[in-house]
Structure 1
Amino acid sequence: MRFHKHSAAFWIAAALGLLLLLLAPLAVSAEEAHGPAGLRERHASLAPQLADNPFGGPVVLQSDESARRIDGDVYAVVEHPFAAVSGALSDPAQWCDILILHLNNKFCRRAQEQGMTRVDLRVGKKHPQSVQAASLLSFTWRPPVRSSDYLSVRMEAADGPYDTRDYRLLVEAVPLDANRTFLHMGYALSYGGASDFAMRVYLGTIGQDKVGFTRTKAPGAGNDGFVAGMRGVTERNTMRYYLAIDAYLDSLSTPAGQRLE
């Protein structure tokens, strides 16, 4: 399907593409944090999946969809000392360095307002776009919980563009040994009727080939058995955000002036 840039269909498709991004970080259940003991138990229970999965590394991706609510989780073992992970992910300014790695994120800054810290994100299209034309998604930064063997970070946004709301972003981590950390990233959001309709249109037309990583049917079935629809979109985009975190942690061994090269 091709759209002329002046047609109504073109602008509908553009809006749907932005909505797709807003539903992107999806896969990170914003439930209560496991806590240090609970996260270690989770690591033990996921040991078989961490050792054998389609990603070729110690990563487990889970997602869920309920009535106009999407959430999910990424659990992963990262090859970085806990102190480095905790120092990076407990700093809201460094979160901007992480989030800006996604092509659709045009701008990010840490801001202070009435004693509260915010992480303001501008999201837009993949091609070049002015910051002013991108949509605002403003997260409230909650004070992190930090100790020598546990980190918990939470961000929340009451409202987002295109009838989305109730965003919750959670990251927690525990050390496994001197050089490895077990990381849990959870993300969730709710969406209203307008967003629901727009996504159904998108996924029924130009986005119908978007699939995730979880097989819900035998190979050879439609989409080779991989989950499609909203959950498929969720899983694809969640993985992108996890990879942004991992790439940023990898970059910390490089001098600051060379990290974007």
Structure 2
Amino acid sequence: MRSILPHSSFGHHDRPRKPAAPHHGPMFWLSHAAVLLALLLIATEVSAEQGAGLRAQYEQMAPQLAKSPFQKPIVLNSADSTERPTGEMHAVVQHPFGTLSGALRSADAWCDLLTLPANVKRCAVEDDPAPGATLHMAVGRKFDQPIEDAYALDFRFQVLAAQPQYLLVEMSANKGPMGTSHYRLTLEAVPIDAKRSFVRLRYAYMNNLAARVATSAYLSTSGRDKVGFTVVGRDDEGRPRYVGGIQGIAERNTMRYFLAIESYLDTLPVPPEQRLDRRLRDWFAATERYARQLHEQSLDEYVAMKHKEARRQVAIAPGG
């Protein structure tokens, strides 16, 4: 870049001197500390309000949770939108809030649990304290495939609130595979009592035109018999008819992620060397309770595939 200073201003060896850093006295630093403290107090108050709102939502939903058709206290909702598919789960989990919050504040924990679904082939954490960690994921088919054939999906992981009575974590990715974008996976939690917590899990992403065309082709071919969980009617014999299409996709994915969270928490007391196999079997058994929506392969096929993927990840990790 050409200088705009006149040539006569400096000799051949001269350089413009950098202005001296301003000297800040004690009052300057005290005022800045006061501003930071005020921002911290505001953030704490906002978190407290969010936690109170979630607890109030639990009280409001308690009758619905008690009568859940899932045989456990969960309520699943979704948005019927081809452009912005969204699933939302409210649930009571049988884990103390301290245990849940301590575990799910970790990016490594999310990498472990997000690899339980069959189509997630790899996850590695890149730590960066400033913007938050990044989860480098590879997603692909629900069956065994070479890792180079999978799609990259990089989630930014942030703990947005970690209070004694409230947790909020978010994973976001601006770009996804096949024309998808603006992924958001958000978890909020509050304690109910000494042994239980209430969580809200929200999963959403955006489809551009190309993604909507690809999804439509899938839903008219191999995905035509896939359904979600929302009952939209009954057939002549009184059996439930479930929502299909892209709304069904959002509901299935939200349920898979929720069951992965439960399986991860359930297996924390298991010795570390046994956790992977136990989690795989627990997650598979949980999905089989909803086989109409979530069954993809046999237990043996799933466990063998996941152990192979785990060995592959260890082999490519630094020092592996």
Q: TM-score range by the shorter chain?
A: 0.7 to 0.9
From 92, 98, 104, the equivalent of 2:119 is: 104
The SS at the match of 2:103 is helix
Pair 51,114 (structure 1): closer, same or farther in 2 beyond 3 Å: closer
Letter of the 2:216 counterpart: R
User: Is 1:48 the counterpart of 2:88 in the alignment?
Assistant: no
Change (3 A) 1:255 1:77: same
Q: Return the alpha-carbon distance in structure 2 between the equivalents of residues 34 and 248 of structure 1.
A: 28
**Letter in structure 2 aligned against 1:104:** N
User: Which of the pair has the greater relative contact order for Cα pairs under 8 Å at 6+ separation?
Assistant: 1
- Alignment partner, residue 150 of structure 1: 166
How far does residue 134 in structure 1 lie from its aligned partner after superposition?
A: 1.2
Q: Among the aligned pairs, what percent are the same residue?
A: 43
Secondary structure at the counterpart of residue 213 of structure 1: coil
C-alpha displacement of 1:226: 1.3
Per the alignment, in what secondary structure is the counterpart of residue 166 of structure 1?
strand
Larger radius of gyration: 2
Residues of 2 paired with 1:114 and 1:47: CA distance? 38
Residue pair 2:126, 2:134 contacting (<8 A) in 1 also: yes
Q: Which moved more, 1:108-117 or 1:123-132?
A: 108-117
Q: Is the Cα–Cα contact under 8 Å of residues 213 and 235 in structure 1 kept in the other structure?
A: yes
Within the alignment, does 1:131 sit opposite 2:161 as a pair? no
> 2:118·2:142 contact (CA, 8 Å) conserved in 1?
yes
Q: Could you tell me which amino acid in structure 1 is paired with residue 57 of structure 2? A: R
* 1:66 matches 2:81: yes
Cα distance change, pair 221–142 in 1 and its aligned pair in 2 (3 A)? farther
String of CA shifts for 1:180-213, please: whole Å, max 9, x gaps: 0001111110011111011112112221111111
Change in CA separation of 1:222 and 1:133 when aligned onto 2, cut-off 3 Å = farther
- The 1:256–1:50 alpha-carbon spacing in structure 2 relative to 1, beyond 3 Å, is same
Q: CA deviation at 1:67?
A: 5.0
Which residue of structure 1 aligns with residue 203 of structure 2?
187
Of 236, 240, 245 in structure 1, the residue corresponding to residue 252 of structure 2 is: 236
Residues 220/49 of structure 1: CA separation in 2 closer, same or farther (3 Å cut)? farther
Distance 1:75 1:109, change over 3 A: same
Amino acid at match of 1:75: H
* Letter of the structure 1 residue corresponding to residue 50 of structure 2: G
Of residues 171, 181, 197, the one that matches 1:165 is: 181
- Structure in which a larger fraction of residues adopt helix: 2
What aligned pairs does 1:75-114 form with structure 2 within 5 A after superposition? 75-112=90-127
- Kept in 1, the 8 Å contact 2:179–2:207? The answer is yes
Checking the alignment, whether the CA contact within 8 Å between 1:112 and 1:118 is kept in structure 2 is yes
| One-letter amino acid of the structure 1 residue matched with residue 184 of structure 2 | R
SS in 2 for 1:142: strand
Partners of 2:238 and 2:220 in 1: CA distance: 14
SS at match of 2:123: strand
- Superposed CA deviations along residues 114-146 of structure 1, whole A, max 9, x for unmatched, are 943211111011222232221110011123311
TM-score (norm 2): 0.68
- Per-residue CA shift, 1:39-59, capped at 9, x if unaligned? 011111111221112210001
Residues 23-42 of structure 1: pairs in structure 2 closer than 5 A? 35-42=50-57
SS of 1:258's equivalent? helix
TM-superposed deviation, 1:104: 1.1
Matching residue of 1:216: 232
- Does the Cα contact within 8 Å between 1:90 and 1:144 map onto a contact in 2? no
Name whichever of 47-56 and 244-253 sits farther off. Answer: 47-56
Measure, in 2, the Cα distance between the counterparts of 1:201 and 1:34: 44
Look up the match of 1:21: none
Count of residue pairs the alignment pairs up: 230
Contact 1:107 1:121 in 2 (8 A): yes
Question: Partners of 2:187 and 2:155 in 1: how far apart?
Answer: 14
**Distance in 2 (alpha carbons) for counterparts of 1:170 and 1:70:** 14
Instruction: Pick closer, same or farther for the CA change 1:180–1:250 going to 2, 3 Å.
Output: same
Q: Are the structure 2 counterparts of residues 34 and 193 from structure 1 closer, same or farther at C-alpha, using a change threshold of 3 Å? A: farther
1:209 and 1:223 in contact (8 A); partners too = no
